[in-house]
Amino acid sequence: MSMLTPASEVILRHADEFTGSRVLLAGDIQDPLAAQLSAQSVYVSTSQYHQWQALRVPLGDRAAFALTVSPEAAAQCDTLIYFWPKSKQEALFQLTQIFSCLPVGSNIFIVGENRSGVRSAEKMTEPFTALRKIDSARRCGLYYGELTTPAHFALKEWIGSYTAEGTQIVTLPGVFSQDNIDVGSALLLESLNQAVTGSLLDIACGSGVIATVLAKRNPGLTLTLSDVSAAALEAGRETLARNQLEGRVIASDVYSDISDRYDWIVANPPFHDGLNTSYSAAQRLISGAKARLNRGGKLCIVANAFLPYPDLLDSTFGQHKVLAQTGKFKVYLATNA
């Protein structure tokens, strides 16, 4: 079975286009295509920490984990291969930033699964390039153009915010629940009405709404926020700053870069990786929680009610409680006895 996504397989149908090119790969990178592509040079910039972890071994310093593409790196490239994400706003954010530092005249290839909304690439990029569809296969579309007009990009212009319990929450394109607090996180906060003290780890923190609201309720709570998304980490840092809170904000694929123990672990864990359904992160979060909790420490998560987490909680902790449930969500609490 191929390790490549359908989008990457479409790119390889045009492999001859890249042999003499200085290629920049960016966007929703989900596989090791960058390590297999034959080109004059290949540089990868990903905003997903777990994808960077997989690519740093074969590519070394030719792979970067960052919210935005390094202008210095982009300036050395003449071809962009961009993998379309599921969020159109994230695509516009990323492409605008890349088009602000990629040399005019560069070749632009944009590829994505049709279900991702890649068809909107032509209209979205009209101010910068005249894209045309050059291939359709594996339920994907591939678009090509040349960069004719550089973009203006200023990060501050993309930052948004909303309030939750009177607390200002900062967001960026691509961060989960960008416009307001999501129903699941709101249910967790509503149901967690006991004192939350000591140290707290918010995994898959997104904008940091859960940790920040709990810290505002419980002064003195020591915070650590983690996520794989560079946009989420940036939003989380800014959320803490705007609320005059201190805390560590670190990139980690669940517990990959976390060695401390905590009194609380809270999460609204994702069950998608890009467009694909994946329970891996939530399963690793639950099964590894005991090793990251102090004695008497608690794990509190919210999840869609249909997801198969109760048995995993029981096999890990020996018990769990349901703090709240609706027709769609359940809030689980388990204690490291």
**In this predicted model, what pLDDT tens digit does every residue of 323-337 receive, in sequence order?**
999 999 999 999 999
On whether the CB atoms of residues 47 and 41 are closer than 8 A, the answer is no
Average of per-residue pLDDT across 112-131: 96
Q: Which of 300, 298, 302 is nearest to 290 (CA)?
A: 298
Q: Is the predicted pLDDT of residue 275 greater than 60, yes or no?
A: no
Average of per-residue pLDDT across 109-128: 96
Report pLDDT for 179.
85
For the chain, which residues make up each domain, given as ranges? 6-155, 159-336
Contacts from 16-21 at CB under 8 Å and sequence distance 24+? 17/107, 17/109, 18/79, 18/81, 21/78, 21/79, 21/107
CATH hierarchy code of domain 159-336: 3.40.50.150
Decide whether 6-155 matches 159-336 in CATH topology.
yes
Using alpha carbons, list the distances in angstroms from residue 135 to 56, 91, 105, 293: 30, 20, 21, 51
Please report which confidence band the pLDDT of residue 271 belongs to, taking 50, 70 and 90 as the band edges. low
Report pLDDT for 1.
36
- pTM of the shown model: 0.94
* Span between the terminal Cα atoms of the chain, in Å: 43
Three-state SS annotation for 149-212 = CCCCCCHHHHCEEEEECCEEEEECCCCCCCCCCCHHHHHHHHHCCCCCCCEEEEECCCCCHHHH
CATH hierarchy code of domain 6-155: 3.40.50.150
The residues that bridge with 83 in the sheet, in sequence order, are 27, 111
On whether the CB atoms of residues 102 and 74 are closer than 8 A, the answer is yes
Identify the residue with better confidence: 179 or 59: 59
Average of per-residue pLDDT across 16-36: 96
- What is the C-alpha radius of gyration for the chain, rounded to an integer number of angstroms? 21
Report pLDDT for 184.
95
Identify the residue with better confidence: 299 or 272: 299
Unique residue bearing structure tokens 């027709």 = 327
